[in-house]
Structure 1
Amino acid sequence: MPTYHYRCKNCGYDFTKYQSFNDDPITVCPECGEEQVRKVYSAVPIEFKGSGFYRTDKS
């Protein structure tokens, strides 16, 4: 099950939640109760190891 990161625009509360793909996104802040919660998107870390990923690599 994926983990989603949320942040409240009203109070700034940050939290993560395990949710199924079928679950609705959280909109109400568990800290202040306002409907100001939004998902926080970030880059996924990726690391290429070994050869064959770049044009300049020699086989």
Structure 2
Amino acid sequence: MPTYHYRCKNCQYDFTEQQSFNDDPITVCPRCGQAQIRKIFSAVPIEFKGHGFYRTDSGSHSSSSSK
């Protein structure tokens, strides 16, 4: 289940909540009760694993011709 980060614009309360994709977003602050909640979006770290992500892994290797 994804975890979402929320912040209240009224009281600045920050919290995270695990929600299903089918759940409605939270709109009311659990601390002050105002409908001032906004989702906070942040960059997601990316990890490249496996073959093909490095210069030495991509393309065909040509053999050097002997003279």
TM-score, normalising length from structure 2?
0.74
Any stretches of 5+ residues in structure 1 without a counterpart? none
Instruction: Return the index of the structure with the highest Cα Rg.
Output: 2
**Divergent runs of 4+, >4 A:** none
TM-score, normalising length from structure 1?
0.82
**Aligned positions, number:** 57
RMSD between superposed Cα atoms in Å: 1.6
Q: Percent identity?
A: 77
CA shift at 1:58, angstroms?
Answer: 2.8
2:30 alignment counterpart? 30
CA distance in 2, matches of 1:4, 1:58: 38
Any stretches of 5+ residues in structure 2 without a counterpart? 58-67
